[in-house]
Structure 1
Amino acid sequence: MTLSLATSGSNRATSLVAGFARLVVGGEWSAEYGHSVIEAFADTSPTADYCGAGKVIVRAILDSLGGNPGDNVVLPAAVPHGLVEPFRERGVEPRYHRMTQRFGADLDDLITRIDEDTIAVVLVHYFGFEQPDAAVIREIAADAGVPVVEDNSHAALSAPGGRLLGTTDAFGFTSLHKTLPVPNGAVVFSESTIALDDSSFGVADRPSLTDACFLTSRITNPSLQQSESTHEPRPEMARSNPASGDCEETTWPASPTPYESMRAYAADDEPLSWLTAKLLAVLSAESIVHRHRDGYERWLATLDTAPMYDLTPGVCPWIFPVVVDDALQRARDVPDAFAWPRLPRDVTPDDFPVATDLARSVLALPVDRPNQIARLASAVE
């Protein structure tokens, strides 16, 4: 079921959201700056289905692939723990392969992980940049007769070579709130011949607590507003707490949720929010891509370090990754920076030393507010 988000709701509501986008999000709205995000997705793939979170998509993909206890999915070791939870729910083994220092695949190790019980190979594009080993990974999967699932969670609008990442393979998905100023959301692209469980997808028909907390954060925290004026960041922002039914204050970036604590994971199990749907119809894809590229280039010009990735045409970076001695500690010193990824508990230093080293050393620097980068850089250097 592909949702027609651009036309849902009243014209008055859409006008109000457009006004919000101009005042708080930073003026990135389609009437002045080209195609909306919805239009960009529609131009790229006719089968774009929306829901509240990526885990809903992973569940639906597993159902479509017939994932059962005893099956396995081969994926890189450098992934966040939330990605593998839908596998565990169904008794499907997340079978990790080793990595290279640039987030590439150890191809020899990947080949050894595939067996007769493998139902998919996950290809991950990191930070908005195309996986450098994508072509070989697809070839290995094809030789084994296994479908590829394309994880493009980091960059909803990244299109190197003119093709949106996540739209090449049998299944591909992306997270909306990482790239876009929206409360929640994820989108899955799939071949038209593949049926997904429509009951897992949908959009809320009215504003929710998630929307209210997002608005509160954007209005009360000037550093999250993407206009070109300069603000000092505030360390607090509001987020929804479904357990209590209200917004709660938390430090930002929020402290990592322990692997064993699944409150945050369960809280994501909701539809695409009403406000997200409205914003997707008015936010300008071109303007957001330009802003993220501008931020990346400013980090590149400011820091005395070689970039992990070159900013090639069409790329919309999620963050600027930089290698430091202790990413967790440095993230405490740099507003809005964070260490990435928080690995699954079964990705251990003995078995996956490179992935573990990346998790300890990769600091993710924000690119969505270019005007603040000069000030943030002083805390990085």
Structure 2
Amino acid sequence: MTTTARYDAAQFPKPSLPALPVLSSLKLNRTASNTIPAGVLTCTHRVHLYSGRYAIFLALQCANIGAGDRILVPAYHCLAMIEPLRLSGVEPVYYPLNADLSVTVTELSKRIDQNVKAIIVVHYFGFPQNFQAIRHLADQYHLIMLEDCAHTCFGQKEGIGVGHLGDYAIASTMKFYPSVHGGILASAHHELKTDGLKQPSFAVEVKTLINGLELAHQYGRLAYFGKLLKMIAWLKLLVFKLKSPSTNKVISANKTNQNPPPEYAMSPAWLGCQASRVSQFFMQQTRINDLVQMRQAHYDQFLAALQNRSDCRPLYPIRTPESVPQVFPLYVNNCLPVFVQLKKQGVPIIRFGEFLDDAVTGNTCQVSLDYAEHVLQFPCHQSLSKVEVKWIIARLILALDANSDI
């Protein structure tokens, strides 16, 4: 797997703003009504896990897919998607994507053989896609369809909620909720094999609570609780001495890499463990209406400021009403110097797909290689204010102007 960066991440300071949602005293649910929109969380069968990659691992077990089997996987991916496949002994077979990240059914058909057991499809960056044709293809060849909704907890397409079309769906709730960690395996069609799953220890629950409060306080989100956090700092020192799944030795299918990026390292303990009750409580206390409306408003803020530039382009120049954006994905012509300049200034940036499996080449999918090189994602979550989004945009525009290749 390709893991060599062309910059030294150690040179960058901690982001000045949170890249993912954090707790906020202003965003807690204070009403009895908190209706969840259509999406993965409205599937009939659900189980909360540590993260999306553990949900993929469990999905393979539920579908009886394992060693010797093959799965069709999009060429534009994060390594966290590939790791559970390799740990299960499953071979990923990469298929190309179009420029709008849609899938051509004929390209999938070319790659189906007797060992292919499933297809993974992705709703990228919070924009639901129409996978009806792929559903028909999966039915035709008796394949399992796994909807990767790590970027799209909510939303619908053609009246069908994301996650409801596939046999199984996975989500990454920590991308949408201030849950510290969290993923979901769901299905609208099949019961899930959850008998062997265990609950996290009390120490893990306490650490999750403290980590969530501390992270929020670091970003100035819990001003009223600042003194309280200082008073319980000693508790953190005590609890951190206790063993938890997150501190166990990680496992990786990439045996040749001694220092794998955190996003695809997996702990054996969390493979058979549900998400903490604390992380689920943080989810339950989130006001869904605010989550949806603020993400959409922040995305529109980015869009209004950047859609007419010649040195970059939004991957999705139109935000559809049914979309709840995970991030604002931006194609930057002269990407690397812009990225480095922004990171040095403390601007939070996410780089999905920056590292791809070595099996993905120009012959596999040129779009994926291009996007891995040029697409940056900026947070637009509900823990940010309009002023903070404006701050990100202002620095982004300055970096674009300073590094324009026009």
**Are the aligned partners of 1:152 and 1:173 in contact in 2 as well (CA < 8 Å)?**
yes
Q: Which amino acid aligns with 1:311?
A: R
The equivalent of 1:18 in structure 2 is: none
Distance 1:85 1:24, change over 3 A: closer
**CA–CA distance in structure 2, aligned partners of residues 40 and 203 of structure 1:** 29
Distance 1:204 1:143, change over 3 A: same
- Partner of residue 389 from structure 2, selected from 361, 373, 378: 373
**Are the aligned partners of 1:158 and 1:317 in contact in 2 as well (CA < 8 Å)?**
no
Q: How does 1:1-381 map onto structure 2 within 5 Å?
A: 24-32=23-31, 34-35=33-34, 44-132=42-130, 134-160=131-157, 163-191=160-188, 193-200=190-197, 202=199, 207-222=205-220, 225=221, 261-262=259-260, 264=262, 265-267=265-267, 269=270, 271-305=274-308, 307-309=314-316, 310-334=318-342, 335-341=347-353, 342-368=355-381, 369-371=384-386, 372-381=388-397
Measured against aligned partners, the alpha-carbon deviations of 1:30-62 in whole angstroms (never above 9, x if no partner) come to: 32484166x977982231211112222212211
User: How far 1:204 sits from its partner (Å)?
Assistant: 5.4
User: How far 1:262 sits from its partner (Å)?
Assistant: 4.3
**Are the aligned partners of 1:141 and 1:147 in contact in 2 as well (CA < 8 Å)?**
yes
Greater mean deviation of Cα atoms: 290-299 or 336-345: 336-345
Distance 1:214 1:262, change over 3 A: farther
User: How far 1:370 sits from its partner (Å)?
Assistant: 4.3
Measured against aligned partners, the alpha-carbon deviations of 1:109-136 in whole angstroms (never above 9, x if no partner) come to: 211111111111111100011125x122
**CA–CA distance in structure 1, aligned partners of residues 154 and 201 of structure 2:** 23
Name the SS of the counterpart of 2:369 in structure 1.
helix
Name the SS of the counterpart of 2:320 in structure 1.
coil
Q: Which amino acid aligns with 1:354?
A: V
**CA–CA distance in structure 1, aligned partners of residues 314 and 261 of structure 2:** 36
Q: Which amino acid aligns with 2:315?
A: M
TM-score (structure 1 length as normaliser): 0.77
**Are the aligned partners of 1:81 and 1:259 in contact in 2 as well (CA < 8 Å)?**
no
TM-score (structure 2 length as normaliser): 0.73
**Are the aligned partners of 1:120 and 1:146 in contact in 2 as well (CA < 8 Å)?**
yes
Relative contact order higher in (CA < 8 Å, ≥ 6 apart):
2
User: How far 1:160 sits from its partner (Å)?
Assistant: 4.7
Distance 1:33 1:339, change over 3 A: farther
Distance 1:63 1:296, change over 3 A: same
User: How far 1:203 sits from its partner (Å)?
Assistant: 5.5
**CA–CA distance in structure 2, aligned partners of residues 319 and 243 of structure 1:** 35
Distance 1:68 1:157, change over 3 A: closer
Name the SS of the counterpart of 1:143 in structure 2.
helix
Name the SS of the counterpart of 1:332 in structure 2.
helix
**CA–CA distance in structure 2, aligned partners of residues 119 and 328 of structure 1:** 38
For structure 1, the 5+ residue unaligned runs are 1-22, 228-239, 247-257
Measured against aligned partners, the alpha-carbon deviations of 1:245-302 in whole angstroms (never above 9, x if no partner) come to: 79xxxxxxxxxxx965347322593531232121122111111011100110111111
Name the SS of the counterpart of 2:266 in structure 1.
helix
The equivalent of 1:236 in structure 2 is: none
Distance 1:163 1:344, change over 3 A: same
Measured against aligned partners, the alpha-carbon deviations of 1:52-107 in whole angstroms (never above 9, x if no partner) come to: 12222212211122223221010111110111111111211011101112212243
User: How far 1:162 sits from its partner (Å)?
Assistant: 5.7
Corresponding residue pairs, total: 332
Q: Which amino acid aligns with 1:336?
A: P
Q: Which amino acid aligns with 2:367?
A: V
Name the SS of the counterpart of 2:196 in structure 1.
helix
**Are the aligned partners of 1:299 and 1:377 in contact in 2 as well (CA < 8 Å)?**
yes
Q: Which amino acid aligns with 1:337?
A: I
For structure 2, the 5+ residue unaligned runs are 1-21, 224-236, 245-255, 398-406
Identity %: 21
Name the SS of the counterpart of 1:31 in structure 2.
coil
Measured against aligned partners, the alpha-carbon deviations of 1:175-195 in whole angstroms (never above 9, x if no partner) come to: 001111211111121145434
**CA–CA distance in structure 2, aligned partners of residues 123 and 287 of structure 1:** 28
**Are the aligned partners of 1:328 and 1:339 in contact in 2 as well (CA < 8 Å)?**
no
